[in-house]
Structures are given as structure tokens and as C-alpha cells.
Amino acid sequence: MKRLEPELIEAVLAHLEAPHPQNGEIDFVHQGGAIARVKPNASAFWHREPLFTLLIDIDWDDPKDPLARDTSIAWARATWDSLERFTDGFYVNTMAADDPHRRVRATYGDNYPRLVALKDKYDPTNLFRLNANVPPSSSGA
């Protein structure tokens, strides 16, 4: 996010004031500084201008409690669905395993074609795919 807008703060407060899981968090992480001094095409990380990252974090005490798990995950997803419009881009280390490929694609911005070329050269069979995957061009993605 390039700035913390009043509409965003109101939306966050609405989620936190409504019933939500005990361990549900909405965090703002300050960026800028050294991150912003690097050109976007100098590495895979594209979004260097935003001043804040929005994180929605959830956990539950008992890993064998499916109700706590499902309730927590549903809250995090609903919260993200309502706050995503305030964001531009995504940091791949905070992605969920089931995030759609469009988010991965948007995360790398104009660097994406260069990353596909690297994937084609060094991992054409897509062996390393259990991450924020950039599939090789042969995969058709």
C-alpha cells in the first residue's frame, strides 16, 4: 500500500470490532527505506514503491480442532477479500499455498517474463514448483 487511507483504517477496524477468532491479526509492516532504493527490475521483487505491507495472520491453539481451523481460515479469507482492493501487489513469502496464479503473476510485475525465461533455462520440468511458482513457458500457464 502506498499510504494508509482512512477508508482502509475504517475497514480494518470493522473487521477487528466484529466477532473474529481470538488469534486473528491485521498488521501493517512499514517498508520504504532500503527497499525503495533498489530499482524494481534489479531483482524478482517488483513492488518497491509501496510504504506498507498488509498482513492478515491467523492461528489456533489446537491443530486437531477442525472448527477452530475452519473458522479462523474463513475469517482470514473474508478479511483479505474485503481489504485486497487497498493493495497493489503481493509479497510471495506471505502467500497461502492455494493463492491463485494471478497473484503470483502480479507480484513479479514486469519482471515476470524474465523469470519465465530463467525458469525455462534452469528448471524446464518445473521441479521446483512448491512455492510461489513461476512455471516454465512449456507448461502453458
List per-residue pLDDT tens for the chain, 141 residues long.
888 999 999 999 999 998 888 888 999 998 888 888 999 999 988 888 888 989 999 989 999 999 999 999 999 999 999 999 998 877 777 776 677 778 788 888 899 999 999 999 999 999 998 777 889 998 766
Helix (H, G, I), strand (E, B) or coil at 27: strand
Residue 92 has a pLDDT of 76
Chain center to CA of 83:
12
What is the secondary structure of 42-80 as a DSSP string? Answer: GSS----S-SEEEEEE---S-TT-HHHHHHHHHHHHHHH
CA–CA dist 98, 100 (Å, integer): 6
Instruction: Please state at what angle helix 112-122 crosses helix 101-108, rounded to 10 degrees.
Output: 110
Residue 66, all three cell numbers: 477442525
Q: Which residues contact 56 (CB under 8 A, 6 or more apart)?
A: 24, 25, 26, 27, 76, 79, 80, 83
Residue 140 has a pLDDT of 66
Q: Which domains does the chain have, with CATH numbers?
A: 6-133 (3.40.462.20)
pTM summary value:
0.77
